[in-house]
Amino acid sequence: MRDVHLRSTLTGIEYPFDRLEEFAENGESLEVVMPGIEKARARPGDRTWDRFAEFMPFEASHPELSLGEGSTPLVDAGPALKEYTGIDGLLLKNETMNPTWSFKDRGSIACSIMATERDETLTATISTGNMGQSMAAYGARAGLGVLVFLPDFAPREKILAMAVHGARVFRIGGADYAEMKSRVLGLAPRFALRIVSGNGPIRAEGYKMEAFELFEALHGSVPDFVVVPSSACGHIRGLFKGYRELLAAGLVSRLPRMVVVQAAANSPLVSAIRTGSRTVVPFRDFHTVAEALTSGKPPGGEEILAKAYEYGWLAEDATEEEILDSQLRYARSGFFVEPGTATTLAAVRKLRAKGAIGKDDRVVIVLTGSGLKDLDVFRLHAVEVLDCPVNGLEGRLESVLEEERRT
Ligand SMILES: *Cc1c(COP(=O)(O)O)cnc(C)c1O
């Protein structure tokens, strides 16, 4: 089942697998085509990458490049979140437990394998933070030079984390994120540089592994909905591609319906899906606390719209207030996620309230990134700390305990 190649996702134009540019000339996103996928089988092995090697386009599974990504827990959401959303079968796939605390690590190992198998020594990425940090870590592991281009609003924790892994970080001022992205991507051919964005075909292959893990964790049954906060859209389409390939191989009998979630302040896909548009609704000069969801005009986003209509996906947004409230609700249930991730809770609650999701449906929300990655947001949260001098501790403790025992 070699003969692997790339194909544009709307009009089916074919390209070689090792094409440097991540999109077709006409702007469509590309995906990896694996002839013979119908015959692919899961086989025994310790790592998911070994068990699903026949579903992957690489020559080998390269455990030496791994930082231990994946195999993240799928956990019951707990009573408070189930009650809040009105969904009894709510599950959380906790991707904050990856090596750099977001699902981006799954795509980064795929990019690192791709570069290594092609003897490339440098890789580059455009990021608002999480992807740059992840690529920096995986580049360090693989011995690749890493260049990161990021907008000047990226949070300090993420910038520092990239630099500490040894990446060359370019903080780019004076451009809106979408504009900056297209300018940087345009430089790839001139410098013969593989610049990986959030929606490249190789990165999407890494995200397939999430579907394989869900397949195993749910013993072959398929959730009704998988909820993904989306920006560049590599994640949602990669995860869905994993399921499409499981279906093609006859390992599952149906596909889950995906739920696209965005911040209301920047919802190029959700706004389009609401009106049935086949082109994304561009957003500019927006501000949102969900800074991981910053693609105002995601390249290749039309593929997501086409899939949404073809497969009956849902779409919902969350306002700034709902995002902050959801972040606290997740935290009060034990899950500390970043604001971009928190969009999902409010969105799922609204979809349930509208009847789009049923009470008894099995719903998996992907917790995409850790709350520790963006501490600046705590300006907006009232988190209480009790300051008290050591001499006053006993009295203070007494009154707090009284309060606690009353509630
Ligand atoms: C990158 C990112 C997203 C969006 O994923 P896309 O693949 O760009 O759609 C969501 N949440 C977090 C925490 C992220 O880092």
Could you tell me the distance, in angstroms and rounded to a whole number, from the CA of residue 385 to the centre of ligand 1?
A: 31
Mean pLDDT of the chain: 94
Q: Is 8 in the pocket of ligand 1 (CB under 6 A)?
A: no
Q: How many CB atoms lie within 10 A of CB 391?
A: 7
High-pLDDT (> 70) share of the chain, %: 100
Instruction: Choose among 357, 343, 179, 369: nearest CA to 270.
Output: 343
Confidence bin at 127 (pLDDT 50/70/90): confident
pTM here is 0.95
Structure tokens at 344: 């999902």
63 vs 176, residue with greater confidence:
63
Q: Which atom of ligand 1 is nearest to the CA of 107?
A: 7
Is the pLDDT assigned to residue 65 strictly greater than 80?
yes
State the pLDDT at residue 188: 83
Specify if 164 maps to a domain. Answer: no
Q: Is 235 in the pocket of ligand 1 (CB under 6 A)?
A: yes
State the pLDDT at residue 68: 97
State the pLDDT at residue 47: 95
Specify if 271 maps to a domain. Answer: yes
173 vs 88, residue with greater confidence:
88
Structure tokens at 34: 């694996």
Q: Is 203 in the pocket of ligand 1 (CB under 6 A)?
A: no
High-pLDDT (> 90) share of the chain, %: 84
Specify the pairing of strand 168-172 against strand 145-151.
Answer: parallel
Could you tell me the distance, in angstroms and rounded to a whole number, from the CA of residue 235 to the centre of ligand 1?
A: 7
Specify if 22 maps to a domain. Answer: no
Confidence bin at 2 (pLDDT 50/70/90): low
What is the residue whose two structure tokens read 């969801």? 293
Specify if 142 maps to a domain. Answer: no
User: Can you spell out the DSSP letters for 11-53?
Assistant: T--EEETT-SSSB-TTS-BEEEE-TTGGG------SSHHHHTG
What CATH number is associated with residue 282? 3.40.50.1100
Q: Is 95 in the pocket of ligand 1 (CB under 6 A)?
A: no
Q: How far is Cα 215 from Cα 162, in angstroms, rounded to an integer?
A: 33
pLDDT mean over 343-358: 98
Structure tokens at 25: 């000339």
State the pLDDT at residue 378: 82
C-alpha distances out from residue 190 to 20, 130, 379, Å: 11, 26, 43
Is the pLDDT assigned to residue 403 strictly greater than 60?
yes
Specify if 39 maps to a domain. Answer: no
Could you tell me the distance, in angstroms and rounded to a whole number, from the CA of residue 198 to the centre of ligand 1?
A: 8
Q: How many domains does the chain have?
A: 1
Specify if 3 maps to a domain. Answer: no
User: 286: domain range?
Assistant: 74-97+206-380
Confidence bin at 30 (pLDDT 50/70/90): very high
H-helix or E-strand spanning residue 202: helix 201-217
State the pLDDT at residue 199: 96
CB 337 within 8 A of CB 371: yes
State the pLDDT at residue 153: 78
Q: How far is Cα 73 from Cα 235, in angstroms, rounded to an integer?
A: 18
Burial environment of residue 163 by CB neighbours within 10 A (0 to 12, 13 to 18, 19 or more): middle
Segment 212-237, tens digit of pLDDT: 999 999 999 999 999 999 999 999 99
Q: How far is Cα 283 from Cα 266, in angstroms, rounded to an integer?
A: 6
Confidence bin at 187 (pLDDT 50/70/90): confident
Q: Is 344 in the pocket of ligand 1 (CB under 6 A)?
A: no
Q: What order of strands is seen across the sheet that includes strand 257-263? A: 74-76, 89-94, 362-367, 225-229, 257-263, 314-318
pLDDT mean over 116-120: 96
Q: Is 108 in the pocket of ligand 1 (CB under 6 A)?
A: no
Cβ neighbors of 355 (< 8 A, separation 6 or more) are none
Q: Is 233 in the pocket of ligand 1 (CB under 6 A)?
A: yes
Burial environment of residue 37 by CB neighbours within 10 A (0 to 12, 13 to 18, 19 or more): middle
Q: Is 341 in the pocket of ligand 1 (CB under 6 A)?
A: yes
Q: How far is Cα 200 from Cα 170, in angstroms, rounded to an integer?
A: 20
Specify if 160 maps to a domain. Answer: no
The residue to mutate among 102, 128, 197, 270, having the most atoms of ligand 1 within 8 angstroms of its beta carbon, is 102
Specify if 28 maps to a domain. Answer: no
Q: How far is Cα 280 from Cα 298, in angstroms, rounded to an integer?
A: 8
Q: Which atom of ligand 1 is nearest to the CA of 234?
A: 7
Q: How far is Cα 269 from Cα 28, in angstroms, rounded to an integer?
A: 15
Structure tokens at 254: 């149906």
What is the residue whose two structure tokens read 């964790």? 217
Segment 194-213, tens digit of pLDDT: 999 999 999 999 999 999 99
CA of residue 386 relative to chain centroid, distance: 36
State the pLDDT at residue 1: 45
State the pLDDT at residue 160: 85
Q: How far is Cα 293 from Cα 232, in angstroms, rounded to an integer?
A: 8
